[in-house]
Amino acid sequence: MKILVIEDDTVISELICMNLNAAGYETLAVFDGLCAETLLTEQKCTDVALALVDVMLPNKDGFALMENFRQAQIPVIYLTAKDDVISKVHGLKSGAEDYIVKPFEVLELLVRMEKVLKRTGRGRKRLHVRDVVIDLEEHSVTKAGVRVALKPMEYALLVALAERKNVAMSREELLNKLWGVDYVGETRTVDVHIGKLRKKLDFYDVICTVSKTGYRLEDWS
């Protein structure tokens, strides 16, 4: 799935693209408003699922590009240092799906992206982790083409980790996400399910323990 990143600061652009690539997304970086407009008007972004757009761009700002995105039917999330209420309201009223103020945490960006993609019907249908394929529509998992039987919570845990590839998730975050905020058991529950996943999928070197935090599913392919 391709994400268009329009950001004139090369350091920020590279950081965003690096983290999105690590999470399993393909990225296309553009550093100028007019260049972005050219790509959009020449229909060179037909395979783009979502655009992350800075507002203060050279030659043509992000707000002025909204009509191009609308015509290309590409949902937009603004990423900008403009944190005043007027700018936020203007961005959202112009048609943006979300508005994130810099600086932001990568995990927050990924979560907001996933929500926009799902809301706009562009969510990923399958997740790939090495030789494992997770079919989100059929709720099935195969490894090297062979179906693997997972219990509901094991499947949900695998999806949660796969959606945040190469990003550490705390035990508390996983508990809240899968078992709910009202869960009164111990975080040990997560450890038990992680152990079962590692065994069933031979993911001993894929699901890594992050000291004093939780777990990270590693896949840099």
Residue 19 binned pLDDT confidence (cut-offs 50, 70, 90):
confident
pLDDT tens column, 28-42: 999 999 999 999 988
In this structure, of 122-126, 134-138, 166-170, 198-202, the range with the lowest mean pLDDT score is 122-126
2-119 and 126-217 have identical folds: no
Q: What is the mean pLDDT of residues 92-110?
A: 90
Cα 107 from Cα 214, distance rounded (Å): 15
Residue 221 binned pLDDT confidence (cut-offs 50, 70, 90):
low
pLDDT at 100 over 70: yes
Q: What is 2-119's CATH number? A: 3.40.50.2300
Pairing of strands 48-53, 2-6: parallel
pLDDT of residue 185: 65
Quickly tell me which residue has 């083409």 as its tokens.
Answer: 145
If you average pLDDT over every residue of the chain, what do you get?
A: 90
Cα 85 from Cα 71, distance rounded (Å): 27
pLDDT tens column, 43-89: 888 889 999 999 999 999 999 999 999 999 999 999 988 888 998 89
pLDDT of residue 183: 61
Pairing of strands 26-30, 76-80: unpaired
Q: Which residue has the higher pLDDT, 97 or 123?
A: 97
First to last CA, the chain: 15
In this structure, of 19-28, 31-40, 148-157, the range with the lowest mean pLDDT score is 19-28
pLDDT of residue 125: 79
pLDDT of residue 49: 92
Domain coordinates in residue numbering, the chain:
2-119, 126-217
Q: What is the mean pLDDT of residues 12-34?
A: 90
pLDDT tens column, 157-206: 999 999 888 889 998 888 888 887 566 666 688 999 999 999 999 999 99
Q: Select 126-217's CATH number: 3.40.50.720, 2.60.120.10, 1.10.3720.10, 1.10.10.10.
A: 1.10.10.10
Q: What is the mean pLDDT of residues 86-114?
A: 90
The alpha-helical segments, DSSP class H, found in the chain are 10-22, 33-41, 66-72, 85-93, 106-119, 152-162, 171-178, 188-201
